[in-house]
Amino acid sequence: MKLLATGAAGFIGANFVHYTMRNHPEYEVVVLDALTYAGNQESLKPVADQIEFVHGDICDAELVDRLVAECDTVVHFAAESHVDNSLHDPEPFVRTNLVGTFTILEAVRKHGARLHHISTDEVFGDLDLDGDDQFTEDTPYDPSSPYSATKAGSDLLVRAWARSFGIHATMSNCANNYGPYQHVEKFIPRQITNVFTGARPKLYGQGENVREWTHVDDHNEAVHLILSKGTPGETYLIGSGDERNNKEILELTLELLGEPADAYDHVPDRPGHDLRYSNDSTKIRTQLGWEPKYGDFRTGLQATIDWYRENEWWWGPQKAATEARYSQLGR
């Protein structure tokens, strides 16, 4: 079986390719990635001789058509993924997340390939900080940022193509991921690498916002379960159930790094900052038998810290430019 993974020089997609090589040798993998600032071909180095890498854009209809024609399955990770960037310059988000997904859908429609679309819990908006309510597969969409609005739009395109054109598509909306190969612009790697480079970690506002942290391998195991056992047309929510606020995460990171608990700066909050995300993942657990293996967040975070300690060659070249972008945003 031939599988096209878009955006797999990025964080989750690269880990997906590693996971697939380890656990699903039945797949022949082709990666399509534009190598934007967020893509890094080095993330695929350990599996480079086992896959085909195509440097190109998901908005390039001719290229996408040719690649999809040769594949049985498409797993669509490619996106502009960072909320702060979308607040600064939304244009690439509209282009890649909407036009790019449209381009993939048209090729999938023409060639009858099977599609799994990777989405996010952010499409649902946010939940009250103090409540215990959760998002479900039926929660109405209510995105807050240009990033989540374009992801919501891409999800709706997938649903429309499934209903009106009968394409064989499934979709998943996962909570926040952590693990190796995550860009240093994101919360956890930014703080770890700030400590490693002698800069102070940065907490937005008071750090009360809550996220549900899920290890990237647990996410990718869920994607493989959907590929093998999911029902066409269905959406699955994925989340570990481990909810923590940003202050707790930062303090735990500092503790694991042997730093004082207050060795960080408060910086101005993100405009429109979503308060809390929480996915009810009962459907994928009961119907497909998914269970997160990284039940203990502390252990997963320690392993992630160790990975960044050992792989400065990977993140070092991105660090200065990332912090320069943050300085422009005042964060």
* Residues marked as catalytic: 121-122, 147
Where do the DSSP E strands lie in the chain? 2-6, 28-33, 52-55, 73-76, 114-120, 168-174, 177-178, 202-204, 210-212, 214-215, 235-238, 243-245, 265-267
- Residue 57 binding: pick among ligand NAD, ligand DAU, none (C-beta 5-8 Å cut-off by kind): ligand NAD
127 sits near ligand DAU (criterion: CB under 6 A): no
225 sits near ligand DAU (criterion: CB under 6 A): no
Q: Which stretch binds ligand NAD (CB under 6 A): 18-26, 35-43, 282-290, 313-321?
A: 35-43
Minimum CB distance to ligand NAD smaller for 159 or for 259: 159
Q: CA of 23: how far to CAs of 3, 177, 182, 303, in Å?
A: 14, 20, 21, 20
Minimum CB distance to ligand DAU smaller for 167 or for 238: 238
13 sits near ligand NAD (criterion: CB under 6 A): yes
CA gap 38, 36 in Å, rounded: 5
Q: Between residue 183 and residue 212, which ones bind ligand NAD under the rule CB under 6 A?
A: 183
Q: How far is the CB of 123 from ligand DAU (least distance, A)?
A: 9
Minimum CB distance to ligand NAD smaller for 12 or for 210: 12
- Residue 83 binding: pick among ligand NAD, ligand DAU, none (C-beta 5-8 Å cut-off by kind): ligand DAU
Q: What SS3 class is residue 111?
A: helix
- Collect all residues with Cβ–Cβ distance below 8 Å to 53 and sequence separation of at least 6: 9, 30, 31, 33, 41, 44
Instruction: Evaluate whether 113 touches 68 at the Cβ level (below 8 Å).
Output: yes
Cα 91 to chain centroid distance, Å, stands at: 19
Look-up of token digits 């955006």:
7
Minimum CB distance to ligand DAU smaller for 211 or for 319: 211
Q: How far is the CB of 95 from ligand NAD (least distance, A)?
A: 7
Binding site for ligand DAU (CB under 6 A): 81-83, 120-122, 175-176, 186-187, 190, 202-204, 207, 209, 211, 246, 270, 277
